[in-house]
A and B are shown apart, each in its own frame.
Chain A
């Protein structure tokens, strides 16, 4: 009945869920602090030492706010939308590995994998679940029955559909190099060093792919400079204009968790996952965390540095530059893979 492997797996699942929830809270604080430093302010500093309790205060505030719903809104879809968004954000992380296999200090006979589900088509699953998340945003826009929400929802889905293509094509190049759709195997293919110094990370083989992936990732998560769905000067708050209290918090959380997922996936695909120098293999998850947070910092840095694009520029950039570049990258990679006989 009490199979130790089952318990270990449940612990891993619970831990992943807990960490994702907390990473959203940490990111909120990080975003406010980094933004403050970029703008030469102090940021939150009153609640707890160095403002570290600020996310907790935010959550309590959000919980006690009044829950509002427009009278003409479609009740069922109005409440379904944030749930869809948040659950898609959580579910996508399920196939992302975050460390080498572990026996929990010899407690188990056989090692467990540090991931919720080891699927052999992990990358496609991430794609599938992200495309379900789009519905959350579209439905939020439609069900609110408000012009700003609708415009925000439409923009967001148009943007996500356009950038998903380049996103997928830049992934495909890495898949060809690694010869596997499983994230675990892609990470394992990146262990070791070239000439004893340069880590075998795919970012060195696929610099263009990495750039395309990161750019498309920013657009996918609706972050600045591509934050059109919530362009506050034009659309009030975009698709979540009519949401308040915890329903708003769900959208907010989903956005941050999506950022974490995109960063984690790009760490696994391009930056060698949990492989890194100095640390023993069982501490690999520290490298993973460091890399993910470096990318997240980069996201925040970008948001407070670059102004928002214009909408037609965004579409033009996506279709006329990013997509051809990604296609070219894929073709060249395919040619090299065949030529070198990998």
Chain B
């Protein structure tokens, strides 16, 4: 049963992510990204991590993607015409494209290398006890605030700085007459 669900969610996630890139209409790209996040959420549930699943939906699919959607909707981005874009615009020309292909190849090699390494370690643990247990919120909290307290606090300071920065950049300068930028 779990294997069946795994394949369903895995296929949904992968197909949706591929279509995000394959889509010409940016609106559909955003929506397909949400679908792929939902697929990921299903995988988290199968891994007995309901907290991660809920957070995945709330943070990524719920909060971040709404902002993406807003940007696409408000900027009224049209469906792109690939052939013309590729010829006229900088950045999608043949040069950067080749560079991107090289980067993609490097990433693929890295992935294969990394996956082959971890395949032996946690997934194949014969006891299976750790995998069966549902990760409780309490446990995650204790880990975060005891073992990883420094990383956690450092991240929160980073986020705070970014937030203050965003507010300052977006703020209108009251001393400067408007329209003078």
Residues of A within 8 A of B (CB): 74, 77, 119-121, 124-125, 127-129, 131-132, 134-135, 138-139, 142, 150, 154, 157, 161, 181
Contact = CB atoms under 8 A, between A and B. Distances in A.
B26 to A, nearest CB: 12
25 contacts: A77-B27, A120-B134, A120-B136, A120-B137, A121-B50, A121-B51, A121-B137, A124-B55, A125-B54, A127-B54, A127-B62, A128-B58, A128-B62, A131-B57, A131-B61, A131-B66, A132-B61, A132-B62, A134-B62, A134-B66, A135-B31, A138-B66, A138-B73, A150-B73, A161-B63
Given A132-B62, A142-B73, A157-B66, 8 more contacts: A74-B27, A121-B50, A121-B51, A131-B58, A131-B62, A131-B63, A135-B31, A154-B74
A312 to B, nearest CB: 16
Contacts of B134: 120
Contacts of B66: 131, 134-135, 138, 157, 161
B34 interface: yes
B69 A124 contact: no
Instruction: Identify whether the interface residues of B are mostly helix, strand, loop, or mixed.
Output: helix
A251 B27 CA distance: 22
B7 interface: no
Nearest to B51: A121
Nearest to B56: A128
Nearest to B34: A135
Contacts of B58: 124, 127-128, 131
Interface string B61-105: 111001001100110000000000000000000000000000000
Nearest to A76: B28
Contacts of A129: 57
A53 to B, nearest CB: 40
Nearest to A128: B57
Nearest to A123: B54
Nearest to A168: B58
Nearest to A182: B137
B144 to A, nearest CB: 15
A125 B45 CA distance: 12
Given A120-B134, A128-B54, A138 B69 contact: yes
Nearest to B74: A154
A15 B31 CA distance: 33
A124 B73 CA distance: 28
B54 A121 contact: yes
Contacts of A139: 31
Contacts of A154: 70, 73-74
Which 7 pairs show the lowest CB-CB distances between chains A and B? A131-B62, A124-B54, A128-B57, A121-B50, A128-B58, A128-B54, A121-B54
A37 B30 CA distance: 47
A157 B66 CA distance: 8
B50 to A, nearest CB: 5
Contacts of A138: 66, 69, 73
Nearest to A74: B27
Nearest to A120: B50
Contacts of B69: 135, 138
